[in-house]
Amino acid sequence: MKEKTEILELNAPSMQAKIYIGAGILKERLPSLTAGRKCFVVTDTNVYALYRPFFDEYFKDAGLFVLPAGEENKNFQSLYAILSAMAEAGVLRTSRLFAIGGGVVGDIGGLAAALYMRGISCVQVPTTLLAQVDSGVGGKTAVDLGGVKNIVGAFYQPEEVVVDTEFLKTLPLREIKCGMGEIVKYAALDGKFFKTLSENTDELSSLEFLQSLIADSIRLKAGVVERDEKESGERKCLNVGHTTSHAIELTHGFSHGEGVLYGMLLETHIAIQAGVCEKEYGGKLIKIIRAAIEVEPKSAPDFKNIKADAAKAKADKKNTRGDKITLSVAKKQNEWTTLTLDFDFYANALERAVKELSL
């Protein structure tokens, strides 16, 4: 059965964007999106290899930059190379950049669009589950620098997001699990997601089940972004688990979604320790997160050096002020908060969480 197309709107202060969701929707959208302008495509080596005939057919006159796949390439050198390729291809202010790939391509492609000639039109085409439910929507763009994730970037809304679920057919299991990690994040923020996931933990490995949550995930995120585009308040809720996640991703070789699952697990335990998260609710949330972590393929973290991981979290200046570190944590159903802790408390609580959760 062909799934129906959904069209959502994101009315952010800086941009009104349409979000199209459906199987095969990209090919329907491309004729009008590419007509009459110079286009430039950023993708990565894996997506390009898998979808070469599509690129050849639909973007034969466009400029193209194929980024080597992987988070390690979300950096300044790649950004410089993309911008140089855009200049060389004769990209104009009236041109349009298509970022076709996972969150790495979306983040760096979106930043290139924001910077080139002070901003050209950008269309995000997220091809991973993670990018479809999270990074493709909301206009955060960035590269990593000096081992710190997303430290250089811009808020830059795409004009349109095309979420074509056909892309998910070629996604490796590990990447499906990563996208599931960000969907589990929504359970920490929203009672409906919490209920759906706690009642269906045995479905967490099913792509069909996860796919059925894409539109609601986007709806939830778009609402947050509309109310707080530049993350001065409410948008911080989307960072649950992320302070610890960003510290452990690079050192533990985790993908972002895997890191978010462990980050949420540890930070929920810390929030219970700090008396901020209701114990019973926190226990239920931990149950969902644990079920998600158990889905194959499992990552094999080694948290023996957790003090060093804590120090890494402190080095990420986005969440620290002096000796304080801030986490976004769930409090109870439908309620979250930011939790600012003395760094020593955080480091000790992290160690205790690893021990008590038997990680």
Residues with catalytic roles:
118, 140, 182, 221, 231, 235, 239, 242, 246, 256
Residue nearest to ligand NAD (CB): 103
Please identify which residue in 238, 264, 271, 327 interacts with ligand GLY, judged by CB under 6 A.
238
How far is the C-alpha of 69 from the C-alpha of 160, rounded, in Å? 24
CB of 169 to ligand NAD, least distance (A): 8
Nearer to ligand GLY, 110 or 138 (CB): 138
Based on the shown chain and the rule CB under 6 A, indicate whether residue 185 belongs to the binding site for ligand NAD: no
- Cis status of the peptide bond prior to 68, with omega within 30 of 0: no
Please identify which residue in 17, 39, 42, 105 interacts with ligand NAD, judged by CB under 6 A.
105
Q: In this structure, what token pair is assigned to residue 222?
A: 């778009």
How far is the C-alpha of 235 from the C-alpha of 116, rounded, in Å? 26
Q: Tokens 């979106």 label which residue?
A: 110
Q: Are 215 and 21 in contact (CB under 8 A)?
A: yes
Nearer to ligand GLY, 63 or 179 (CB): 179
Beta bridge partners of 154: 141
Q: Are 19 and 222 in contact (CB under 8 A)?
A: yes
How far is the C-alpha of 34 from the C-alpha of 211, rounded, in Å? 28
Based on the shown chain and the rule CB under 6 A, indicate whether residue 50 belongs to the binding site for ligand NAD: yes
Among the residue ranges 170-178, 227-235, 262-270, 309-317, the one whose residues contact ligand NAD (CB under 6 A)? 170-178
Q: Are 172 and 257 in contact (CB under 8 A)?
A: no
Residue 235 contact partner, candidates ligand NAD, ligand GLY, none, CB within 5 to 8 A by sort of partner: ligand GLY
Site for ligand NAD in 111-130 (CB under 6 A): 127-128, 130
Please identify which residue in 26, 91, 171, 266 interacts with ligand NAD, judged by CB under 6 A.
171
- Nearest Cα neighbor of 126 from 187, 178, 192 is 178
Binding site for ligand GLY (CB under 6 A): 134, 138, 140, 235, 238-239
